[in-house]
Amino acid sequence: MAARPDRRDHGHEADTFHPWIAALLNVSPDHLDRHSSQAAYELAKARIFVNQVEGDWAVVNRENDAAVRLVEHTRATVVGYALDRQDTARFFADAGFIWQRTSEGETPLVPLEVVRVSGRHTLSNVVAATAISRLAGAEARSIARALTEFAGLEHVMEVVGTLGGVRFVNDSKATNVDAAARSIESFDRVVAIVGGRYKGGRLEELRGALAKHGRGVVAIGEARDRIRVALAGVVPIVDAVGMPDAVRQGWEMAKPDGVVLLAPACSSFDMFADYADRGRRFKAEVRTLIEDAGDDAREP
C-alpha cells in the first residue's frame, strides 16, 4: 500500500493546490539528481491528489503499476485508462477507436485515424487526454476535431526532415530512460543520440529497445562513458563532441534507410540551456546537413 504523502515542508502552492481533475500518466525513475530517492520522487508526484475530495476525478494509467499505487489513498473517483483493452480501464484503445466504458456499455469515441502524432507512448497520452476531456464535459466530436488539428508538440517526436532516405526526429523532451526507450521503440533502424547530464535511472534499460529497433548509438555529453558501459555489445556506439558532430555521425550510421533520433535519456544542462535549446540545436544542425548535402542527397 502506498503511504499518504506528508503534507509538510513542500511549499504553500503544493499545500493548497486542489485540481478538480488530476492525472498521473506514468511513474519511472527520473530527477534522482534532485530527489533523495525514487520513493521521495514518487511521493512528490502523488501530491497532485492530496487535496482532492469526493466529487473530484483522479485519472491514472492502468498500465503503470507505480502510478496505480499512488492513487490508492485519494478521495477522488479513480478513472483508469489504458492502451490495451483492460477490464479496469474506463478509457482504452481498441479496434480502431478510443472507447469509453460506462455502466451502460462501451462507446466508441474517437477514430484512431485522426491521431496525427506517432509513437505508442504518445497514443497513450492521447487516450489520457480523451478521458480528461470527457470528464470535463467535452463531446466526442469536439475531441476528434481537436486531434485532427493537433500535429504534436515541438521537441516531442518531432519529425525534422529527411536526407538520402534517412529521417531525423527530435525527441529532446525524452529526458529520462523510460521516455527514451519508448521513443526508440516507435521506429525501426534507429540511431539514437543519447546523453547529457545523467540524472538517475538505469541506462541498461535501453538495451532491449535498441536490440529490437536500433542500428547504433551516438553518445554525447557528460554521460558518454556511462552510456558506453551500459549499452556495450548491443549496437555500435560512437562518441560525438557536440551536436554538429552527433548529427553527422548519426546520419552516416543510419544510412541508407534509418532514423536519427534525438532521445537523450539525460538532462541537457551540461551542454545546453535546457531541453528546448538542445532540440533547437539539433534541428539547426539537421537543416545545415541537408543544405550542405546538396540536391543529389535530398529526398525526392
For residues 175 and 151, give the distance between their C-alpha atoms in angstroms, rounded to a whole number.
21
Of the three residues 93, 120, 149, the one that is the final residue of a domain is 149
Quickly state the pLDDT bin for 76 (edges 50, 70, 90): very high
Q: Is the pLDDT of residue 10 over 70?
A: no
39-42-44 Cα angle (round to 5): 110
- Cross-strand bridge partners of residue 192: 217, 261
Which residue has cell 548519426? 250
The CATH number that applies at residue 287 is 3.90.190.20
* Structural domain containing residue 56: 12-149
Considering its fold, how many domains does the chain have in total? 2
- The contacts found for 107-114 with CB under 8 angstroms, 24 or more apart, are 107/140, 109/134, 109/140, 109/143, 109/144, 110/140, 110/143, 110/144, 110/147, 111/144, 114/144, 114/147, 114/148
Cell numbers 546538396: residue: 294
Residues 87 and 203 in one domain: no
Domain boundary among 149, 178, 202: 149
Residue 167 to residue 282: CA distance in whole angstroms: 13
Is 88 in the same domain as 214? no
Q: What is the dihedral of CA 48, 29, 261, 118, to 10 degrees?
A: -40
Task: Please indicate, yes or no, whether residues 40 and 59 belong to a single structural domain of this protein.
Answer: yes
pLDDT of residue 1: 33
In the prediction, which pLDDT does 249 show? 98
Residue 7 above 60 pLDDT? no
Q: Summarize pLDDT for 185-207 with one digit per residue, the tens.
A: 999 999 999 999 998 889 999 99
Residues 7, 9, 10, 13, CA torsion sign: positive
CATH number at residue 99: 3.40.1190.10
Whether residue 250 contacts residue 215, with contact meaning beta carbons closer than 8 Å, is answered with: no
pLDDT digits (tens, 9 = 90+) for 11-36: 445 678 999 999 999 886 655 566 56
**What local confidence, expressed as pLDDT, does residue 14 receive?**
65
Domain boundary residue, one of 119, 149, 179 = 149
Cβ–Cβ < 8 Å for 259, 191:
yes
